[in-house]
């Protein structure tokens, strides 16, 4: 039992983790650039919830560097994401995430001493600032 938990916990410690920004309401999004773009996972500095997708899909914004934001959409259930204070990507040795890719998000359980939930997410694109969205 313990042997099964150690690899997941080790992965959480070694992968890019991010702290949640505590917003009362999900941040509004002016637009999303869906052109193929990538970012290095070691530049992740935080994440926050985003407005749900058109069919109710749960979404989150991952922040990299000082001001770049990326929109991710959860594919399927991810029960503990709403309660998570940190997350990690299970990258299996890769160092970049790119638009259109499907990745595994590791979310610690909200129940103490429970397992890590593995959630599938898809990177939709780079979040545009309001002035960038109106220019397009």
Averaged in consecutive runs of 10 residues, what is the pLDDT profile of the chain (136 residues)? Answer: 41 44 62 95 93 91 93 94 90 92 92 86 92 54
Q: What is the reported pLDDT for 13?
A: 37
Q: What is the reported pLDDT for 10?
A: 38
Range of the domain at 52: 2-135
Q: String of b and e for 58-74 (b: at least 16 CB within 10 Å)?
A: bbbbbbbeeeebbbbbb
Q: What is the reported pLDDT for 105?
A: 96
Is residue 43 a contact partner of residue 97, using CB atoms and an 8 Å limit?
no
How many domains does the chain contain in total?
1
User: Tell me, what DSSP letter sits at residue 10?
Assistant: H
Is residue 81 a contact partner of residue 107, using CB atoms and an 8 Å limit?
yes
Which of 15, 10, 33 shows the shortest CA–CA distance to 90? 15
Q: What is the reported pLDDT for 29?
A: 82
Distances (CA, A) of 33 to 37, 68, 70: 9, 12, 9
Q: What is the reported pLDDT for 129?
A: 81
Tokens of 105: 């998000």
Contacts of 39 (CB under 8 A, 6+ apart): 64, 65, 68, 70, 96, 97
């Amino acid at each position: 039992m313990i042997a099964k938990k150690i690899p997941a916990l080790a992965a959480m410690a070694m992968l890019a983790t991010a702290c949640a920004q505590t917003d009362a309401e999900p941040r509004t999004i002016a637009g999303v650039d869906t052109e193929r773009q990538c970012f290095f996972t070691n530049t992740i500095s935080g994440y926050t919830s985003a407005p749900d997708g058109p069919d109710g899909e749960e979404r989150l914004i991952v922040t990299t560097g000082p001001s770049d934001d990326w929109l991710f959409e959860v594919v399927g259930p991810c029960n503990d994401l709403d309660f998570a204070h940190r997350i990690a990507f299970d990258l299996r040795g890769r160092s970049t995430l790119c638009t259109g890719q499907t990745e595994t998000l590791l979310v610690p359980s909200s129940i103490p001493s429970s397992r890590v939930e593995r959630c599938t997410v898809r990177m939709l694109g780079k979040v545009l600032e309001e002035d960038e969205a109106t220019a397009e």
